[in-house]
Structure 1
Amino acid sequence: MNPNSTGRRTFLSAVAGSLTAVSVAGCLDGDASDNGDEPEPVVDAADSLVGNTDPDAWRAVEEIRFDGYVGGWVGAAPSAIDRVENPTLVLVAGQKYEITWENMDGVHHNIAFWDANRDVVDEYTTAGNETVGEVETLEFEATPEMENYLCEYQQVGQIGAVRVLDG
């Protein structure tokens, strides 16, 4: 018997065992696409990824509040976005709003509105902060150019859509 064959056989058995374990774990754990459930929020403080986008739920809204985390914005108000991660904002063109966010993790965040070209709309952006508990407020008027709101420092995790209704 070749002295290398035992080592080779042991190695191949270990690889096969590892592949089996990974396959079984994948079948047991599954992801959202396997079992038909919606994906889970990244931020533990969030309960959902889908808020209420019914225009009637948004017509009287003037103030929007978020908690800011690296993983995403978590809605605090209005009730249409409460505990929703990166919810879609439904705004009315020409209406004035105030958006306030609180730093929840001590990482530098800001909030800005971008158009389809990834440019800040009408200088609607905040300076940002990295202090837990510190808040920033931005007053703005909704315009049809608004596509997204986001943190310019964590653009992948902290980004949500903006839907602007005709006034």
Structure 2
Amino acid sequence: MTRDNGVSRRTAIKLTGAAAATAVVAGCSDDEGNGGNGGNGGNGGNGGNGEDGGSEFNIEPDTEIVLEAQTSEWTGAEPSDIEGESNPTLVLQSGESYTIGWEEGDGSGHNIQIEDDNEEVVEDYETDVENEGGESQMIDFEASEEMANYVCEPHRGQMVGELKVEEGENGGNGEGGNETENGEGGNETENGGMGEDNETEEDGS
């Protein structure tokens, strides 16, 4: 809004000065009242959740793991947990049986193979390079701790997913459990009780 020409320059300067002083005071009050809110910037730490981008998927034993072969990546298809996931990390149980492979592709030549950390194929778990997927591109295997990745050999730079093989649920049946039940401590308790009974009988006689 333009000012009236009738206002003198001196009056305008006074008004401007008063308005500026008011704005400064108001600004100070706002700063004092809301300054603490700056601490909310700490919420930026939630960005750490980005690590979930490499999500791991626990796969039940005897599951058939089906992938789609795209030159740029493996895309999860089955089970439903991995559907649409790029190069999903599969968590398996050592000693359990699984099936992995691909049924649909992009028309390029692909295969699938299971490798260790040295990029060596584990126990001949690999298929031939073919343009179409299906039964010939499915591998039945038993999970072992040396397994590290599932790979398409012609496109290993893009089509590679991690395998994490963990100890099976039955791994807890170690010797330690038997020691708890049948350990020396238990035998001492039983034998100790018998010893007290024998001493009582001898004293009574």
* Greater share of strand: 1
| Residues 51 and 80, structure 1, Cα contact 8 Å, conserved in 2 | no
Partners of 1:86 and 1:130 lie apart in 2 by: 20
Q: Which has the larger radius of gyration?
A: 2
| 1:12-53 C-alpha deviation (Å, 9 max, x unpaired) | xxxxxxxxxxxxxxxxxxxxxxxx696xxxxxxxxx954443
Q: Please list every run of 5 or more consecutive structure 2 residues that lacks an aligned counterpart in the other structure.
A: 1-46, 169-205
Distance 1:82 1:61, change over 3 A: farther
In the TM superposition, what is the alpha-carbon distance from 1:165 to its structure 2 partner?
A: 1.1
Which residue does the alignment assign to 1:163?
164
**2:119 & 2:108 partners in 1: Cα distance?**
22
Query: Which residue of 2 is the match for residue 115 of structure 1?
Result: 116
In 1: Cα distance, 2:67 partner to 2:147 partner: 18
Match of 1:79 in 2: 80
Structure holding more helix per residue: 2
Instruction: Give the TM-score of the pair, scaled to structure 1.
Output: 0.64
One-letter amino acid matched to 1:73: W
- Distance verdict in 2 for CA 1:49–1:158, change over 3 Å: farther
Distance in 1, Cα, partners of 2:53 & 2:131 = 25
- Superposed CA offset, 1:59-101 (max 9, x none): 3551100000100100001122110010001111111111130
Using the alignment, how far apart are the partners of 2:148 and 2:107 within structure 1?
A: 27
- What is the rounded CA distance, in whole Å, between the counterparts of 1:86 and 1:155 in structure 2? 11
Aligned length: 119
Task: Give the CA RMSD over aligned residues.
Answer: 2.2
Rounded Cα–Cα distance in structure 2 between residues aligned with 1:129 and 1:99: 16
2:96 partner letter: Q
**What is the percent sequence identity of the aligned residues?**
36
The answer to whether the 8 Å contact 1:51/1:81 transfers is no
Aligned partner of residue 153 in structure 1, secondary structure = helix
Q: 1:49 to 1:73 in 2, by over 3 A?
A: farther
Q: Does structure 1 residue 130 correspond to structure 2 residue 131?
A: yes
Checking the alignment, whether the CA contact within 8 Å between 2:62 and 2:96 is kept in structure 1 is no
Instruction: Kindly provide the amino acid, as one letter, of the partner of residue 81 in structure 1.
Output: I
Contact 1:49 1:86 in 2 (8 A): no
Q: Does 1:147 align with 2:148?
A: yes
- Which residue type is aligned with residue 94 of structure 1? G
Tell me the TM-score normalized by structure 2: 0.53
